[in-house]
Amino acid sequence: MALVNVILMLFVHHHVTITEARLDVRVCCGMIGDNLPSPAAVVQLYRRYKIGKMRLFDPNAAALAALRGSGIGVTLGTKNQDLQSIASSSDVKITYLTAGNEVVPGDLAQYVLLAMWNLQSVVNSYGCTGVGITTVVATSTLGTSYPPNGLPLMINVFPYFVCPSDPANMSLDYAQFTTAGLVVWDGSLSYSNLLEAVVDPFYWAMEKEGVTGVGFGGF
């Protein structure tokens, strides 16, 4: 049976007070917005708070230049035509390349697995070792699809987005990992935070498809 690693995208809002990362924290670095800090300042922030993993949605040249020699592991969204420039970034620690972002489910979903295999072949041809190939799905994937067999899977999970849509039944503490104890019971299962409650159905869905030994990781 295939081993599928469930890899969660944990997004940290820039207004949240940050303390030193004592756990294996991974943070996405978005480029859409205004008044954004420079890539160099972002890398300094990651290093200051010992954040060891970053997700970039595309191979931004300034960000890759700032990451050189930083030792920060990078999950990178990419296209085939970007691979040559990525391969030349030898002192950037790239850990994953992602084929698409939330295209499953959708019209392009049928092409994802082949695209991942092709990306793996190109990466291998450049001699890039230790680089995983994956795709990123939304939580809406459940009930319509299942992960590519034998390859890592990333999931975009946004616990805090649920609170405004259902404030009567969803407390902010439950979404922000600050509850004092267990909040939700589902038969023999119990949850102290919304992240676990959202991710757990993915385990169930993959096991239902015959995938065993599902691991839990991060980008």
In a domain, 75, yes or no: yes
- Residue 186, in any domain of the structure: no
CB–CB of 194/170 below 8 Å? yes
**From CA 204, how far away is CA 201, in angstroms rounded?**
5
Q: 116: domain range?
A: 5-158
Tokens of 60: 């931004």
Predicted local distance difference test score (pLDDT) of residue 149: 54
Q: Is residue 142 part of a domain?
A: yes
3-state secondary structure 21-65: CCCCCEEEECCCCCCCCCHHHHHHHHHHCCCCEEEECCCCHHHHH
Is there a domain that residue 166 lies in? no
**What is the CATH classification number for the domain harbouring 133?**
3.20.20.80
Q: From first to last of the 219 residues of the chain, give the pLDDT tens digit.
A: 333 333 344 333 333 444 444 456 678 888 888 888 999 999 999 999 888 989 888 888 899 899 999 999 888 887 656 666 776 666 888 888 888 888 877 888 888 888 888 888 878 887 777 888 888 887 777 764 444 556 677 778 777 777 777 777 778 888 888 888 888 888 888 888 888 888 888 887 777 777 777 665 555
| Total tally of structural domains belonging to the chain | 1
Residue 179 within a domain: no
pTM (2 d.p.): 0.58
CB 78 within 8 A of CB 58: yes
Per-residue model confidence as pLDDT tens digits over 13-44:
333 444 444 456 678 888 888 888 999 999 99
Work out the number of other CB atoms within 10 angstroms of the CB of residue 120: 16
Q: Decide if 70 is inside a domain.
A: yes
Residues paired with 171 in a beta bridge: none
Q: Is residue 79 in a domain?
A: yes
Q: What is the pLDDT of residue 67?
A: 93
Tens of pLDDT, residue by residue over 74-100, are 888 876 566 667 766 668 888 888 888
